[in-house]
A = this chain, B = another copy of it.
Amino acid sequence: MQKKVTIYDLSKILNVSPATVSRGLNDHPSISAKTKKRIALAAKKHGYITNKFAVNLTKQKSNTIGVIVPRLNSYFMSTVLAGMEQVINKVGYNLIISQSLESEEKEKINAKTLLNSGVDALLVSLSYETSNYDHFIDYTSRNIPLLFFDRVLNLPECYTVLIDNKAAGYEATEHLIHQGCTNILHISGHLKRNVYSERFEGYKNALQANNISFQEANFLETDLNPKKIDRVMKHIKNSTNKIDGIFVSSDNFAASCIKELTKEGYRIPEDIKVIGFNNDFVSEIVSPNLSTIDYPGFKMGMLAGESIIAHLNGNINLESINAITLRHKLIKRESTSK
């Protein structure tokens, strides 16, 4: 193994000071062109690579951004991350990614770990469980920028990137109503999270606007895990009024519903119409095709990444901005046709 080459080694080789080598490598204006060339050549020749540890220490900056997501293995989240990674890498930053696995405890630990490892900023999408937010105080009190995306939190110092879930929930529900549904079941995630509570709001508003009274029995709070579909099926079968429409807050779960309902003899969309959320890949695969809300995950990731970078570079100041809302889109497919 070759031992690592430092600017001190280069400075000896070139007979200049380490300061000159450092400035030369960083293209500092006060170094002459020839000297820069000599330095660059020597650096290449001896395989010099800058020791980021030392740079980080002096600059007190790691060029690294932390991310906490509920889970990595979801189509939506991995798409968001792909967007982030793309813009962030382009400007020389790195992404440290960790998952909370929907646990508040793990989210806290991750936040602390990332704080410790010196991330320059933190991007978070909250876990299902989280209801105490003290672990973010460490960041705000240290002026480390904090940005929430998708599953957000309305802290005064923080900035959020999301879609208008209330409007989207409204549109999805109204679409079902327009297609003739009158007794619509809403299968939601945990209401603690904005994304679900707001879609629920939208759902209720759409009902009201169309003179349909909301029934408690038509609301199901779940963890949207396709493996726990049984409870939903039981609920549907046992409902007193025949359910003729379902608005599910996740495509995966909606696809499972379609699959299971079909198996039980229900015809989709004739007996029950179904609409999902996310425009996941499965929505085009399931039969019948799933109507859904297009959710711009990749753009959300890019935007979150761009915003945080711009803030770090001092180009924009997130403190004056509250939230960025992305455009969503209703996608009508077979599962809700008349």
Instruction: Give the interface of A toward B (CB within 8 A).
Output: 1-2, 4, 49-54, 56-57, 60, 62-64, 71-75, 77-79, 81-82, 85-86, 89, 92, 94-99, 101, 110, 113-118, 141-143, 226, 252, 255-256, 259, 262, 281-282, 284-287, 297-298
Contacts and interface: CB of A to CB of B under 8 A. Distances in A.
Given A64-B96, A78-B73, A82-B73, A49 B110 contact: no
A72 B76 CA distance: 11
Contacts of A74: 78
B50 A53 contact: no
A85 B72 contact: yes
Contacts of A62: 53
A97 B96 CA distance: 6
A116 B49 contact: yes
Given A57-B53, A282-B281, A287-B287, A73 B79 contact: yes
A75 B72 contact: no
A98 B53 CA distance: 20
Nearest to A84: B72
Contacts of A56: 53, 56-57
Contacts of A50: 116
- Copy total for this chain: 2
Contacts of A60: 53
Nearest to A226: B281
Given A62-B53, A89-B113, A141 B75 contact: no
Instruction: Find the residue from A51, A77, A85, A262 having the highest chain B CB count within 10 A.
Output: A85
Contacts of A256: 285
Contacts of A71: 82
A266 to B, nearest CB: 14
A52 to B, nearest CB: 5
Contacts of A73: 75, 78-79, 81-82, 297-298
Task: Indicate the member of A86, A98, A284, A285 with the most B CB atoms within 10 Å.
Answer: A285
B78 A118 contact: no
Contacts of A98: 85, 89, 94-95
Given A73-B297, A286-B286, 14 more contacts: A52-B116, A53-B53, A53-B60, A56-B57, A73-B75, A78-B78, A82-B99, A85-B97, A85-B99, A89-B98, A94-B114, A95-B96, A96-B96, A287-B287
Contacts of A142: 1-2, 4
